[in-house]
């Protein structure tokens, strides 16, 4: 959830200040989060409690979806300004 809030904050800041550096930071953070999620998925799937695996996988999916949406918003705003 924190990454979604960070991306949203950066998107708002980008709108008000118009900085492409913020957009780059958001995109890099999004990619880093997506890469880390693969390690989390592997570790979660190694657990033997399948009910917990389902819950954690669902939460991870929700967070990644939020990161993707935030990244798309920033990319769109940068495209509008260029």
Instruction: Please report the pLDDT score of residue 32 as a whole number.
Output: 83
For residue 65, the model assigns a pLDDT of 85
Identify whether 12 is part of a domain.
yes
Model confidence at 57, pLDDT cuts 50, 70, 90, reads confident
Question: Does a structural domain hold residue 66?
Answer: yes
**pLDDT class for 31, splitting at 50, 70, 90?**
confident
Q: Is residue 28 part of a domain?
A: yes
Residue 17 lies in a domain: yes
- Confidence band of 3 (pLDDT split at 50, 70, 90): low
| Domain membership flag for residue 81 | no
DSSP result, 48-59 = S-HHHHHHHHHH
**Range of 13's domain?**
2-73
Q: Is residue 49 in some structural domain?
A: yes
What band does 44 get if pLDDT is binned at 50, 70 and 90? confident
For the chain, the domain total comes to 1
**43 within a domain of the structure (yes/no):** yes
In a domain, 82, yes or no: no
């Amino acid at each position: 959830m924190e990454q979604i809030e960070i991306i949203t904050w950066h998107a708002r800041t980008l709108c008000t200040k118009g900085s492409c550096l913020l957009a780059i930071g958001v995109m890099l953070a999004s990619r880093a989060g997506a890469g880390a999620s693969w390690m989390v998925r592997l570790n979660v799937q190694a657990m033997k409690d399948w009910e917990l695996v389902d819950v954690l996988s669902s939460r991870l999916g929700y967070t990644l979806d939020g990161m993707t949406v935030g990244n798309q918003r920033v990319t769109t705003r940068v495209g509008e300004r260029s």
